[in-house]
Structure 1
Amino acid sequence: MIQDKKNHFRLIQCFLLVGAIGIFHFTPLHAQKIKPKQVLKEMEAVADWQIEHFRDTFSIDGKKPHHIADWTNGALYVGMVKWAALAQDDRYYEWLKSVGNEQDWQLHWRKYHADDHAIGQMYIELFRKYSDSTMILPTIQGMDYIIDHPSEEPITLDNYQHLERWTWCDALFMAPPVLAKLANITGDERYTDFMMREYQATTDHLFDPTEKLYYRDNSYIGKLDHGHKIFWSRGNGWVFGGLTLIMDEYPVGSEEYNYFLDIYKQMAAKLITIQTPEGHWAMSLLAQDLYPTPEASGTAFFTFGLAWGINHGVLDRATYEPTVRKAWQALTSYITKDGMLGYVQPIGAAPGSAWPDKTEVYGTGAFLAAGSEVYQLYKK
C-alpha cells in the first residue's frame, strides 16, 4: 500500500516535470521577457566582433575592405556611438577617435554625394563629447560649400546620372542628420533651411501616400513584383531610422520636428501591420510570400525607430511594444556564437537574398542603434 502511494506520487511528479518542460519549450519566443542586462551583453558581443573584423572585405568584391569613410562604415559609426555611450569604459570612444584621426576628420571624397557625408554624424557626436573643434571643421566646410553652391541636378535618378541631390531614399539617413546636428550646435538656420527644402523634394518624389512607405528611387515607381509594389526593407529602414536622428536635434513641437514626426507616425502605423509572424520584416515589405528569408538590417532600423518612438512618448507603448519585442528577439536569434550578426542583406538597392553566415557593417550599426533604444525601453 505504501509502495503504491510512492509510485503514485512519483508518477504525479513526472507529469508535473514534463508539463513544466513543455510549457518552457513551447513558450513563444516573442512572449519571453527582454532583460536589459542581456541587451547590453548582446550589444557588446556584436560590437566587439565587428571591431575585430572591421577590415574584413564583406560584400563588395571580396578584394578590399570598405574605406573607413565609406557610407557603410558611416552607418556603423552611428550605432557604435550609441553603444559607446552605454558601455562601461571609453574603449569604444577611443576606437571611434582612432578612425577620425586616421581620416583626418575629413568627409569622404564626393563633395555632393549624401553617402559621403554620413561619417560626419560620428564626427559631430565626438565633438559633443570632447569639444574639439578640429573634429567638425571639415564637415562644416563641406556642408557650407554645398549650401553656397547648391546642385542644379534634377531630383530624379536616371541611370545613376544624378547623385548630387537626395534622389534615392537611403540618402535621407546619410546627409540630413548631419545638417540637423550642425544646425543645433551652431545655431545657423541655413543648415535647417537647406535640409528641409531638399528633404521635402525627395519626399514629394518618393513617398507613396497610400502605402506610407518610400520607393528606393524613381525607377521603382509603378513597378510591380508579382502584383506587389516594391518597397525595399532596408531603404525604408534608412528613412525611418534617419527620422529619429533628425528629430533628436529639434525642439518638440517645432515646425521642423512636427514635419518629420508626421512622416514618422505614418510609417510606424504601417510597419506594425506588415511585420512577419517571425518578427522580422520582409526584404520586400509588401511581399512576405516572395521573400520569406529573414533580413537583419532593415529589421534593426525599424526596431530602432519604433523603440525610439515609445521611449520619446510619441508611440503608444501597449500598441507598439509587442512589435519591438518580437523584432528584437528575432534579431538576437541571428547572432552567431562568435558575436556576428547574420542575415544582413549585402549591398544593393532592392529586395534580394540574405544568409545566416553573412553580415555587413551597416547591419551592425543598425543593430547597435536598435539595442540602445531597446535597452532604454526595458530598463524602464
Structure 2
Amino acid sequence: MKRNILKICILFLSIQTYAQNGIWDQLPAYADPLVIGEKLVKNYLSSDYRHFDEIPGTPPYIVYPETCTWLGALVFSEKTNNKALLKDLEERFFPLLGKRKELMQKPNHVDNTVFGVIPLRLYMLTGNPLYYHIGIDFADRQWQLPKSSASDSVKHRVFLDNGLSWQTRFWIDDMYMITAIQSHAFLATKDKSYIDRAAYEMTVYLDSIQKPNGLFYHAKQAPFFWGRGNGWMAAGMTELLKNLPKDNKHYPRILSSYQHMMRTLKSYVNKEGLWGQLVDEPEDSWTETSGSAMFTYAMVTGVKEGWLDKKEYAKVARRAWLALMPYLNDNGDLREVCIGTNVGSTKEHYLNRRRLVGDFHGQAALLWCASAMLVP
C-alpha cells in the first residue's frame, strides 16, 4: 500500500513538473529529473574529493570535472530549494579553507580557474562574503598577467592587448571554462565587464575554430569532431547565452553560432537518440554519454529559452534524455563516458578510447540536464 502511494506521489509530481513546463510530454517516473538529480547529487556527496578517474589516489587539487559536478549539484539544490543538499554541498567546501587547503585550486590555468564558480555560487546561495572574495579573485586573475618567464609574458601580453584572457589556448573546452567563471562573476557583481569580455572571447573562438558545419575539430592537427569536445562548446555557448544581456553587441553572433551547431547535431542523432564518440559518424562510433548529455542540456535550455523551435527540438531533447536513462546504474553512476582525451592524430585514437563508469565528466553533464528540465 505504502509503495503504491509513493508511486502515485512521484507520478503526480512528474505531471505537475511538466504541466507547468509546457515543453515536454509527460515523462515516466524513472526519468523524472527530480529523482535523477537527487540520485546524482547523493552519489557525488558519497565520495571524497577525486582525481581524474584514470589517475588513482587523492588529487593534488580539485580538478575541473569535480568542479563541474559540484556546480551542477549546487544548481540542482537551488532549483529544488533543497536546503539539506545545499548544506552538505557547502560543508564540502569547509576543509579547503583549513585542514585540506592544499586542495584549493589556483587560478593559474584555464582548467583550474573555473574552480572559482564554486565559491561564487556559494556566495549567491548563502550571502557569505568570504565566498565572494575567493571567487571573484579567480575571475579577476583570468585577465591579470601573472609573473612568468619572459617568453610566456610576451605571448600572454599579446592576448591581453587584444582583449583576451592570458589563459587563451583556442582549445574547445576553454569556452566552457572561461564563460562559466566570468558569467558567475557577472551574476555575483552585476558588473557587465565580466560577461562582456567573456562574450568577446567567445566570438574570437567561434571565428577561429568553428567549422562550416557548425561543429568543432578537437584541434587543427586533429580534424575529428570528438563528442565531448563539442559538448564543451555547446555547453559554453548555452551558459553564456543564458546570462548575457540581449543588448550585448555579441549576442546575435553567439546565438547564430549556437543555433547552427544545434541544427547540425540534430542531423547526427544516432539510432538510440544520442550522439557518438565522433559526432559526424553516428553509425560507426559508439554512443558516448558525457557529450550526449551536454548536447541534451544545450537543447533543453535552448527550447526553454526560445532560442530553438519547440516543435522541432523538444522531441529530440526528450528522446535523448530518455535514452540516457539506461546508462545510469542504480548507484547513480553514468557509464560509457569517454576517458580524458588529449589530441589524437587518427580516428582510431578516438574510437578506441577507454569507457568509464561514474566519471565526473558524465556525472556533471547529466546533472546539468536534470536541473535544466525543472521549472522554472
- TM tier, shorter chain? 0.7 to 0.9
List per-residue Cα deviations over 1:144-176 (Å, max 9, x = no partner).
2342428643799xxxxxx93132110111122
Report if aligned partners of 1:296, 1:363 keep a CA contact under 8 Å in 2.
Answer: yes
Comparing 167-176 with 50-59, greater Cα deviation is found at 50-59
Deviation of 1:354 after TM superposition, in Å, equals 6.8
Residues 166, 198 of structure 1: 8 Å contact kept: no
The residue aligned with 1:358 is: 357
Following TM superposition, by how much is the alpha carbon of 1:212 offset from its aligned partner in structure 2, in angstroms?
Answer: 0.3
Equivalent residue in structure 2 for 1:240, among 234, 244, 247: 234
- Counterpart position of 2:122: 126
Matched, 1:83 2:76: yes
Per mean C-alpha deviation after superposition, the further-off stretch among 238-247 and 139-148 is 139-148
Superposition pairs of residues 282-321 of structure 1, within 5 angstroms: 282-291=276-285, 293-321=286-314
In the TM superposition, residue 58 of structure 1 has moved relative to its aligned partner by 5.9
Shift of 1:234: 0.5
Q: How far is the alpha carbon of 1:219 from its aligned partner?
A: 2.4
The reply on whether 1:258 has 2:260 as its aligned counterpart is no
Q: Which moved more, 1:324-333 or 1:185-194?
A: 185-194
Secondary structure of 1:241's partner?
A: helix
> Using the alignment, how far apart are the partners of 1:183 and 1:86 within structure 2?
20
Structure whose alpha-carbon radius of gyration is higher: 1
Name the CA distance, whole Å, in 2 between partners of 1:187 and 1:56. Answer: 33
Structure 1 regions of 5+ residues with no counterpart? 1-30, 157-162, 224-229
For the 8 Å contact 2:183–2:240, the answer to whether it is kept is yes
Return 5+ residue gaps in structure 2 as ranges. Answer: 1-23, 147-152, 160-165, 344-349
**Distance in 2 of aligned mates of 1:171 and 1:81:** 22
The answer to whether the 8 A contact 2:52-2:65 is kept is no
TM-score with structure 1 setting the length: 0.78
Contact 1:100 1:135 in 2 (8 A): no
* 2:111 is aligned with 1:108: no
Distance 1:67 1:316 in 2: 45
Which residue of structure 1 lines up, in the alignment, with residue 132 of structure 2?
Answer: 136
**Structure 1 Cα separation of the partners of residues 188 and 107 of structure 2:** 24
Relative distance call for 1:164 and 1:285 in structure 2 (3 A) is: same
Structure 1 residues 325 and 143, CA, compared in 2 at 3 Å: closer, same or farther?
A: closer
- Whether 1:202 and 2:202 are equivalent positions in the alignment is no
Residue pair 1:107, 1:116 contacting (<8 A) in 2 also: no
Once the two structures are superposed, residues 169-215 of structure 1 have per-residue CA deviations (whole angstroms, 9 ceiling, x without a partner) of: 1011112221122234324344234323432332222111x110122
2:327 to 320, 334, 337: 334
**Structure 1 residues 372 and 35: alpha-carbon distance in aligned structure 2, compared to 1, 3 A threshold:** farther
- How far the C-alpha of 1:54 sits from its partner, in A, is 4.3
Structure 1: how far apart are the matches of 2:176 and 2:271?
27
CA contact (8 A) 1:170 1:216 kept: no
The residue number in structure 1 matching 2:188 is 185
- State the partner residue of 1:45: 39
Deviation at 1:353, TM superposition (A): 4.9
Report if the CA contact (8 A) 1:344-1:354 is conserved. Answer: no
